[in-house]
Structures are given as structure tokens and as C-alpha cells.
Chains A and B, each alone.
Chain A
Amino acid sequence: MTALLDIAGLTANYGDFQALFGVDLMLNAGETVAIIGANGAGKTTLMRGITGIVRGRGKMELDGTSIASLSAPEVLMAGIAMVPEGRKLFPSLTVEENLLIGAHARKVAGPWNLNAIYDLFPILKERRNSPGTALSGGQQQMVAIGRALMSNPRVLLCDEISLGLAPVIIRDIYAAVPKIKASGASMIVVEQDIGQALKIADRVYCMMEGRVTLTGTPATLSRQAIHDAYFGVSA
């Protein structure tokens, strides 16, 4: 069986600064993978490399087909959608328009449409005609997740969806994750909140300084091992 998403030896640079050093990552169909690591570990660069916003070098295959040379819009069309760090709603668009634009280019039949998103996050239906950026941080995050789901992606990438939100709101947002998993989407969740990540993930990758330093299932990884991989092992 081949993995749905297969990444091997991925490197990426920002100018002279190398941000990724040969990252290997696998995502199987229906699986949720969490990527944890401190600030600057390369998690966001990895997401940007997969989506084609940053041009990386190495093997990247979706269901056996290379996506390494695709532009960002082409990656979305291939079925990889992203919830970007910082939510990045379009200020000139209403909540509903922000959701609709998620399906602007990739119109694929599937479990997700406007009504399904409103069922997942009922508050968005009430605020459908507000400007996207008039919402609270948590509600904006719901719009960003809904917007990515609207394209019925095969792979959903979530970058730091708990960042800057109150714990009670984070709980609400993560409550949606099992429903998204149940819809059949495979997910990669980048998270600094280790507890949250271990709760939802089937497998965990820990990154440090542009490299994967530890992989495993939540059950097999000890707190100490994660701590060492996260902060670097003191000699």
C-alpha cells in the first residue's frame, strides 16, 4: 500500500537561510498526523513547501503522483487544502463569501458544502453576512477551517489553529476535528500545544531546526522523549 501523501528528503530555503533539511513525512489515507515543535522548527515552512507557496526540493507525491513542481493553485486543485497560520481571512469578503471562495476553483462533490459547514459551526450561519474580519478570533478560525473544507480536499493541512486563542475556544475548535476525520479527510495538524496534538493524532512527528527528530504514535511516545526532541537533548 502506498501512502496518500509521501514526502522524502524535502529541503527548502528562504534566500540564504535553509529552513528544511531533508524532511521525510508520510500520511496514510484517513489518518491524522500531528507535527509538533518549537517556534522556528520548520513546521510552517514544511506546510508552505507542501502547498507550493515555498518552492522546496525533494520528493512530494500525492497518491503516487508527484506534486513537487506544482504551483500553489495547482496543489489545491490536486486536493490539498490549507488552513494557514494566522487564519488569513479576506477582509473584503463576508463570512459566507470567505467560505464560498474555498470552492472557487476546486468544485468537487463531497461531504462538505455551505450547509455542512454551517452544521459544523452553527455560529457562522448567524454571522454569514458580516465581514470575515469582524468576527472573534475563534470564529475566524472556524471560517478558515470551513473555507479549506469547502474544496472537499483529500488532505487538509492545519497550521497552528490554536495559536492565540483562549483554552475554552481551542476546545470548541478541536471538538470539530473528529467530525472532519469522520468525513474521510486525511489531516496534517501543526500544533505547538502538545497535549492537544497527542489527543487527536494517530501519529506524531516532532521537528527541531528543520529536521524531524522523532516519530511515533501518541501511545508509544514518552513525555521525556517528546521533551528531548522538542527542545534538543542536553548532552
Chain B
Amino acid sequence: MANSSPSTGRFAQVALGLALVAALAAVPLVAPRAVTQDLFGILTLLVLAMNWNMLAGFAGLVSVGQQAFVGIGAYFMFAAVILWGMDPLVGVLIGGLAAMVFAVPMAFFAFRLHGAYFAIGTWVVADIARLLAGQWKALGGGTGTSLPKGTTKDMFGVQWVKDVLDVSSAAAADAVTYWLALVMAVAMLVASYVFLRSRMGLGLQAIRDNMQAARSVGVDPTRLKAAVFLLTAFGTGLCGALIFIQITRVTPDAAFSVLDWTAFVIFVVVIGGIGTLPGPIVGVIVFYILQRLLADYGTVYLIVLGLIGIAIMLFARRGLWGLFTDRTGIDPFPLRHRPPAAPKS
């Protein structure tokens, strides 16, 4: 390539990225609350999308049951606050851990199924989780429950933000959850990048492309896939719990909604470019624009989204990002670089 030296290019990318993150971090300081809330929605959707992309796009595990982890994250965060009197942010951590714990038996079951059967198997398990949540009488059973008034006001860091910025408690709570979402998104992005370029990440992509070849170079596909399944369950659970701090009310149908927490996420990833690192980011932007444009048309919006998803799969399988890299030959995030010469065995 006749580019400027790779290290300069890398440096420019990192600088640009840091500037973007800094600008996003400043949003609650300068923009109205509605903007912060909107961006919170976008960032959490992005986190869910990156998790699903890692699962389906890189590990080849097409799950339609991610709503299980969002719901479990939300329910255990509520339990931590309401039943065990903890801080909501500790509840978020507990929610993420609970989702990961649930992922163990779920993996044990769903990994017996392959391909499309894995997809519906995870869906069934998520439905089981939804029905069980409806039996959790302490959290309102089928009708659900709300966070007690003032919960977010007392949340860790809110008082401090309120004093420093001189804003209402509600705005301070929005800012804290927003920053957490931003941290999650950045952490997930960096972790994905580092992981995918690591030996294990390259192994994962090798598995996706050729199971036998991966085995022959000493990657244990099942263990690696199981690890990705558990870690993305953790990430999805954390994100779900955080989302429901904002929503403040939980019901089985809302917390375990296949449409909100899995279908949208799938469309975001497919439109942006499944199996590409920037895909979810591109997808989330397109998704948001579409939502804005079609906000007044209700269900038409979902129909359009479904049709776009179908069209992408028919005509451009690697999504908008794939189209971009194919047309321009530019790929700022090359994952498929050849690893340095393999050590002689």
C-alpha cells in the first residue's frame, strides 16, 4: 500500500477516536436532557448489537434468545434494589453476573443444537426465562413492578454530578447512566478489536470459516464458542440492567421482548455489516435515522426495517460496511491481517 506509514495512520485513528469519545462524553454538560436520553438509547443499542455481532458474526452462533440476558439483567438489578436494598449500579453488575450464570445451563442445552436449531433453541430458552420471571411474585409476577421513587436520585455518583453541574437529580441520574453506557460501548469496542486480533480471535474467525482447519491448528471450537457465549451474555445482561434503570419499570413482556432486544439488534447488525467490527456502529446510525424519518408511521417503520434486512441479505451480505470496503478498498479496521509467521511446531 502506498499509504503514509501505518503507525502514523494508526495514531491519527486513535486520536480521532479519542476526540469523538470526548465529544460524546461532554454531551450531558452541554446538550438538553432529551439529547442525552436519545444518545443513551443509541449507545445501549450499540452495546447489544456489538455483543450479538460477536456471537453471530464472529462465533457463528446465531442466537434469537438474547432477550433472555436483557431480561435477567433487568430483573436481577430490580431484585438487588428492591429486595436486597443495594445501589442500582451494584444491581447492574449483579444483573450482568446473573445473565452469565443463566448462560451456563442455556449453553449446555443450546449447544446440542446446530445452526438454525440453535437459533430457535435459544428463543425457547428465552421464553422459559420470560415465563419464570412472570412467576417471580416478589417482583410483581406477570404484571411486573417499578423502581421505588427516588431510587436513581440516591444512586452512586448522582449527588456528586448534581452538585458539580448544578442540575436536577433526574438530569444527574441521566448523565450517570449515559456515561456508563458510553463506557460500556467504548469498552466493548476496544475489547472486540483486541480480542479479534488476538490468537483466540483469529482462531474464532477460522472456526467460522472452517471448523476442521481450526481444529487442526489447535483451537477448541466448542470451548471458544462457549466462552464467547458466556461473555456476551454478561455484556448483554449488564446493558439490559442499565437500560431498565432508565425505564424504571419492569414487566416480563417488556424485559424479555424479542422485538426490542433481539430483532432490532439483528437488523442493526445486518444492515451495518454482520461479521465486521464497524458494522454495528454504521447500523445503529442508519437505524436511528430511519426511526426519526418514519417515527410518525408506526408499524410501517418495522416493515421497512424488515424489508431492508431481507434486501441486505439478498444483495449485500456484509451490509453497508461491507459494501463500503468492497467499493473503496479502504478498511481502517483490518481484522483479517495475516498473523505473523506461525511458530514452527
- A and B in contact, CB less than 8 Å: no
